[in-house]
Structure 1
């Protein structure tokens, strides 16, 4: 049985930004009620990039291990922004591996997530024992295994959110969304997807607005503000896609992929 521990201690983080001597945490409970409701709504409206990855696999796309973020970078992340964002990145990579049934290194990626969570003092939000058992078990359905894996991370984000650290949840989700979009748009560069996959990719672009709004709620928390301002650079490319039809997606995908790649580099480079 899964056990998740709720903890409510308020933490301050050391900040690596040159113009900040400390990071100011904004507890969830201190937000106005309407903002808390908005935050949850934006989070719920973000389309799961995992579904797009499943469609790509079923569409005949081949697993590319070179797209994964290197776990050798994990010890380079020393502040809360880097650590939270890259928990999201490694979580998306882990699901990518799971969906394509490439399980050789899945525990290595899980360990990277655990290490970053430990540094953020949120390790108790993750059911390490259950996740380890899940990854080691030979579950015949990759969809079922991916669903179970997703449930673990959703529960963890709920625990982090309930412990007055929703700003960390926002950064984890942002990192995961970027990595998921990076993986799918990278695969699509090799061969243009069929109409069904292209339509899903088009709809996936709309989730950008929810991620942006979610980060904006925590602009008073310096790490979220930095990421929010970086996310704004993607807005023109997203607008070009979302204000036109799915049939024109191919025309804009190259520039969109380029900005996603730049955003990912911002996230994974310490």
Structure 2
């Protein structure tokens, strides 16, 4: 896997795969979800859709964190995931969107560790939740089914899934549903960080500790887009919880050292090499606080 800097690559990919795994007869979900058509009037964001989109695009995929955990020799632990049985709790569009993000991060973790036997219930959940908010029609199922049968086509699968994400995102913006994208991204970020926190709790190391410290930046960005909808009761709840987390992160110091970039020739072309670097100062006590607060907020949001 080469580049996960675009959040959309990861977030929607499980929704594509879910059709492959669950195209046959399925058990119907026992609780009827609130219809998109019956939602209350939309709350207008305080910032432009362009700003929201730019922030969304800056947030790294949870796949990066999961990949780092595996590369560092951390083992797979299914107990870190949001139980698939929690599905029945998500009975409003906002809860659905947030927990599509949560389950997508879980499924990404499962896929990174190639634990396909664990994936089925998460695939089914994401499919059900995706259908409930009417976004399933924007995926090229037949092409993705064909590509998914051959692991050598993984890059093509990522490319097409990204294109499909862009179509969904465009539809959400056209339909004035940006808030659902914001919730999916927030849920996936929280779950990805929680998985890393629980690993750090048991097996801390310098790289993981620093990475969790740098999440201060992503939290600040997520709060910007959540605050854009804070006049809505559900968003206000999330903002309140995330602000408590921000108070803990405010103790973390991140410094930036500028170094003049270098220019070198690569394959006959001039390339600018960034030599600047950022450093994070985080103590063992601060890490413990972050781990505990992330777990608390996550427990509130998935229950």
**What TM-score bracket applies, with the shorter chain setting the length?**
0.7 to 0.9
Q: Does 1:79 align with 2:92?
A: yes
1:206–1:238: 8 Å Cα contact kept in structure 2?
no
2:282 is paired with a residue whose SS is helix
User: Which has the higher mean CA deviation after the structures are superposed, 226-235 or 241-250?
Assistant: 241-250
Q: Given the two structures, how large is their TM-score scaled by the length of structure 1?
A: 0.78
Residues paired across the two proteins, number = 247
C-alpha displacement of 1:36: 1.7
C-alpha displacement of 1:211: 0.7
Q: Does 1:173 align with 2:185?
A: yes
| Structure 2 residue corresponding to 1:121, chosen from 116, 124, 134 | 134
Task: Say if 1:216 and 1:53 are closer, same or farther in 2 by CA, change over 3 A.
Answer: same
C-alpha displacement of 1:71: 1.2
- Runs of 4 or more, structure 1, over 3 Å off, are 10-14, 125-134, 144-159, 242-245
1:11–1:25: 8 Å Cα contact kept in structure 2?
no
Cα distance in 2 between the residues matched to 1:154 and 1:242: 35
C-alpha displacement of 1:202: 2.3
C-alpha displacement of 1:231: 1.4
C-alpha displacement of 1:192: 1.4
Q: What RMSD over aligned residues (CA atoms) do the two structures have, in Å?
A: 3.1
What residue ranges of structure 1 are gaps of 5+ in the alignment? 5-9, 15-22
Residue in 2 aligned with 1:191?
203
1:51-97 superposed Cα distances (whole Å, 9 cap, x missing partner): 12111110110110111111112122111221111100000001001
1:83–1:116: 8 Å Cα contact kept in structure 2?
yes
1:185-236 superposed Cα distances (whole Å, 9 cap, x missing partner): 11111111233x4333322231001111111112233322222222111111
C-alpha displacement of 1:112: 0.5
Residue in 2 aligned with 1:230?
241
1:246 is paired with a residue whose SS is strand
Higher RCO (C-alpha under 8 Å, 6+ residues apart): 1
Task: Say if 1:243 and 1:262 are closer, same or farther in 2 by CA, change over 3 A.
Answer: same
| Structure 1 residue corresponding to 2:172, chosen from 156, 160, 168 | 160
Structure with greater helix percent:
1
Residue in 1 aligned with 2:26?
none
Task: Say if 1:193 and 1:163 are closer, same or farther in 2 by CA, change over 3 A.
Answer: farther
User: Which has the higher mean CA deviation after the structures are superposed, 124-133 or 72-81?
Assistant: 124-133
Q: Does 1:264 align with 2:275?
A: no
Q: Given the two structures, how large is their TM-score scaled by the length of structure 2?
A: 0.71
Residue in 2 aligned with 1:7?
none
Structure with greater strand percent:
2
What residue ranges of structure 2 are gaps of 5+ in the alignment? 1-12, 17-34, 256-278
